[in-house]
Amino acid sequence: MAKFVFVTGGVCSGLGKGITASSIALLLKAKGYKVFMQKFDPYMNVDPGTMSPIQHGEVFVTADGCETDLDLGHYERFIDEELNYTSNITNGKIYSSVIEKERRGDFLGATIQIVPHISNEIKNKIYEAATTSGADIVITEIGGTVGDIESSVMMEALRQFRQEQGRENTVFVHTTLVPYLFGSNELKTKPTQNSIIELRRLGIQPDIVVTRAPIDLGESVRKKIALFGSVPVENIIEAKDVNNIYQIPMNFHKQNIEEIILKQFGLKITKSNLAYWEELLQTVENLKGEVEIALVGKYVELEDAYLSVKEALKAAGYKYHTKIKINWVDSEALEKKNVKLEEVLKDAKGILVPGGFGSRGIEGKILACQYAREKKIPYLGICLGMQIAVIEFARHVCKLEDANSTEFDPVCKNPVIDLMADQKAVTNKGGTLRLGNYECHIEKGTLAYKDYGKDMILERHRHRYEFNNKYREVLEKHGMVFSGINPDLNLVEIIELPNHPHFIAGQFHPEFKSRPTKVHPLFDSFVKASITYQENLKK
Ligand code: GLN
């Protein structure tokens, strides 16, 4: 039977609960335990797939095709394990499944209530994660802040869970804020005290308190929190502000958080294998050069909308000991008459068009892509970024002037990007995209083959539209190479331009599979090409 760690948050959001949960998981894994992670989101959407990135940031996609919270991206990048449908549970998912069971008649005449029916469903999701993953330890993060109406049933389910499993199988980690007040120049413990009281009101006594603070707490503050919080002083783990999130696991490790957890579980404490992580930290802190990459999107004011892309670029930078300077380019602004492309993109050594939906800013992305193609600047297109590259090439090279995607122009004469027949019948928006892993066969002798070094790959998808195979021949004739094809559906997965130093785009999302310690091949080669481009300019 697995053991369970629950990570809750108090005082306010944005304290880095996701990174705390990921760091704990990483440290337990480094002790040789098999870990699995879950995020509970208290909102009523079934998943974040239908939410605007402005509301929610990026939608992360798991290998099995679940649209999930962006914290799952942190989890996967930290623990380097593939998560799945049991990893992101929302109130929407819980309620809809209970109501579906009620409609089916599964409850045999009972009155359906929050407790026990909803709370049982929540507990089942924790057990399901444990049994399907076969993990030794499941780490579950609860979104929101303790005391929120939204998360109250989830907290109730966790209270019951501890009753069932006992302290020897459950560890509660509560993350809080210890603010520093200027003027009186001191750290204040009251918000932390109150948030622990709030947690206790829900029937949960934390075992470990993780305190976010700008400076070291010092002995007296630690003692105070321990006293009021009823936790041993050594179970106060300080999460001091850091410049670089990869430092957090090491900071926690120095305070023995994983040993405290393993001791409570009665599990063996072995030596940690963290050398690879320390090496990463060393690299990140000693980057030598810098290269500018233009990321052309429509939510650039909100970096979280492109979180995994940003992390994948940074990871590629680490491999070459180079800092990636991202120039966040608003695609809509590029469409304005008084905006000069060569001004905005003058320092770009690589141009990346990431995923996206809807017609706003599309023409700006096409302009940026054309600029990359014509000026021979390295280009990486991701999902929509591949569709953009196809439209641009069809319009300006193949002279199909009104080429477009039917997403943006449903009646265009040259729909180079179009819906497949099965998608035309779809009416619901939620969960109906082409999602998750699909195979892609790679043609030998291409850039894609050079990058991946094998002829069959699996990549994660999240899109509705596809390359329209009717146009393959004409685009090929003009020099576009279709280097990756899905063998089952004969769909275009990767395109490239061999008469360009580095122009490649995929219909999938490589960013979801990249890790800080194991960069994805497409990001690797793109950043490498951008560095080479920069070096050639100097010659
Ligand atoms: N909007 C495009 C589609 O649905 C691309 C989606 C994406 O970039 N994730 O096919």
Report the nearest atom of ligand 1 relative to the CA of 384: 8
pLDDT at 515: 97
Mutate to test the pocket of ligand 1, among 353, 362, 384 (most ligand atoms within 8 A of CB): 384
Model pLDDT for residues 330-340, shown as the tens digit of each residue:
999 999 988 89
Dist CA 395 CA 399 (whole Å): 5
CA 231–ligand 1 middle distance (angstroms) = 49
Contact indicator for 537, 378 with CB cutoff of 8 Å: no
CA 138–ligand 1 middle distance (angstroms) = 33
pLDDT at 284: 95
Mean pLDDT of successive 10-residue segments in the chain (539 residues)? 96 89 98 97 92 89 95 96 96 96 91 96 97 97 93 97 97 97 93 96 97 95 96 97 93 98 97 95 95 94 91 97 96 91 95 95 96 98 98 97 95 94 76 91 97 97 96 97 96 97 98 96 98 94
pLDDT at 420: 82
Within 6 Å (CB) of ligand 1, which residues are found? 355-357, 383-384, 407, 462-465
Sign of CA dihedral 270, 276, 279, 283: negative
Catalytic positions: 383, 509, 511
Query: Where is 26: in which H helix or E strand?
Result: helix 17-30
Question: Angle at Cα 467 formed by Cα 465 and Cα 468, nearest 5°?
Answer: 105
pLDDT at 348: 97
Would you state the structure tokens that stand for residue 62, as one six-digit string? 């798991």
Query: Domain residue spans in the chain?
Result: 3-280, 287-419+428-538
Task: Output the residue whose Cα is nearest ligand 1's atom 5.
Answer: 384
Residues 6+ positions from 186 with CB-CB distance below 8 Å? 180
pLDDT at 432: 81
pLDDT at 12: 86
Please identify, in words, the CATH class of the domain defined by 287-419+428-538: alpha beta
pLDDT at 301: 80
Contact indicator for 50, 429 with CB cutoff of 8 Å: yes
Task: Output the residue whose Cα is nearest ligand 1's atom 8.
Answer: 355
CA 59–ligand 1 middle distance (angstroms) = 12
Question: By three-state DSSP, how is residue 214 classified?
Answer: coil
Question: By three-state DSSP, how is residue 500 classified?
Answer: coil
In this chain, the answer to whether the domains covering 3-280 and 287-419+428-538 adopt an identical fold is yes
* Residue (of 402, 428, 434) closest to 508 by Cα position: 434
**81 has which bridge partners?**
none
- The domain 3-280 is placed in CATH, from the list 3.40.50.720, 3.10.310.30, 2.40.40.20, 3.40.50.300, at 3.40.50.300
pLDDT at 539: 87
CA 328–ligand 1 middle distance (angstroms) = 20
